[in-house]
């Protein structure tokens, strides 16, 4: 693998006598991809290099940063904490058309997915589809009139759904419904 170090896109375009690069590493260090200016710069850069895979090398392995880089069009995200051999394999994967993200990111997302899935289970089967829609609106603190409008229901129908929800949760008012729902989601 032949490596050339440059400081900007302009320098890449003016390397004399060299073939188009097979991959480009953009080393951001401590800069955050989620920072708007960095993101805009990365999108512009990736757009300018065309089909050449761009791999971002950053100090962070936060899932939000990784997602931001992929949304910009990066074909890989290498945290500086990975070993050189892993980085080389990640570059090879990007060159072959794949996308590399660190395993730590996938594992962090797994925790988020499990906590979301586990949080939704207590309500499964407890409410009808319409009651579930009313429950969501109640959790957001919406008034009956607004709930009726948004769900295309009569206000009296919303009141019936709320009464049924209160019975199922053994709650005496809307506030208690919201509180019990929150407790169930924890």
Q: State the CATH number of the domain containing residue 129.
A: 1.10.10.10
pLDDT at 119 exceeding the cut of 80? no
Q: pLDDT tens for residues 39-78? A: 998 998 888 888 889 999 999 888 888 888 999 999 999 9
Confidence bin at 17 (pLDDT 50/70/90) = low
Give the separation between CA 47 and CA 117, rounded to whole angstroms: 37
Tell me, yes or no, whether 72 lies in a domain.
Answer: yes
24-33, 65-74, 108-117, 170-179 — which is least confidently predicted?
108-117
Q: What is the CA radius of gyration of the chain?
A: 25
Contacts of residue 173, Cβ cutoff 8 Å, sequence gap at least 6: 166
Confidence bin at 157 (pLDDT 50/70/90) = very high
Tell me, yes or no, whether 97 lies in a domain.
Answer: yes
Query: What's the pLDDT score for residue 76?
Result: 92
Nearest to 5 by CA among 19, 21, 17: 21
CATH assignment at residue 29? 3.40.50.2300
> Is residue 130 located within the same domain as residue 169?
yes
Tell me the average pLDDT of the chain: 83
Tell me, yes or no, whether 116 lies in a domain.
Answer: no
Q: Which domain holds residue 22?
A: 9-111
pLDDT at 185 exceeding the cut of 70? no
Boundary of a domain, candidates 111, 141, 171 = 111
Boundary of a domain, candidates 59, 82, 111 = 111
């Amino acid at each position: 693998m032949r490596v050339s170090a440059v400081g900007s896109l302009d320098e890449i375009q003016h390397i004399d006598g060299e073939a188009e690069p097979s991959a480009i590493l953009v080393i951001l260090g401590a800069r955050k991809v989620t920072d708007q200016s960095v993101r805009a710069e990365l999108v512009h850069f990736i757009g300018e290099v065309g089909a050449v895979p761009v791999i971002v090398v950053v100090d962070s392995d936060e899932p939000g940063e990784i997602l931001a880089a992929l949304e910009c069009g990066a074909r890989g995200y290498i945290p500086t904490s990975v070993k050189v051999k892993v980085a080389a394999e990640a570059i090879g994967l990007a060159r072959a058309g794949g996308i590399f993200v660190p395993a730590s990111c996938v594992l962090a997302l797994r925790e988020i997915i499990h906590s979301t899935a586990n949080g939704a289970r207590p309500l499964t089967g407890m409410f009808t589809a319409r009651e579930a829609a009313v429950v969501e609106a109640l959790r957001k603190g919406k008034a009956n009139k607004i709930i009726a409008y948004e769900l295309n229901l009569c206000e009296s129908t919303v009141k019936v759904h709320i009464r049924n929800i209160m019975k199922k949760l053994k709650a005496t008012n809307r506030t208690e419904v919201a509180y019990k729902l929150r407790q169930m989601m924890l």
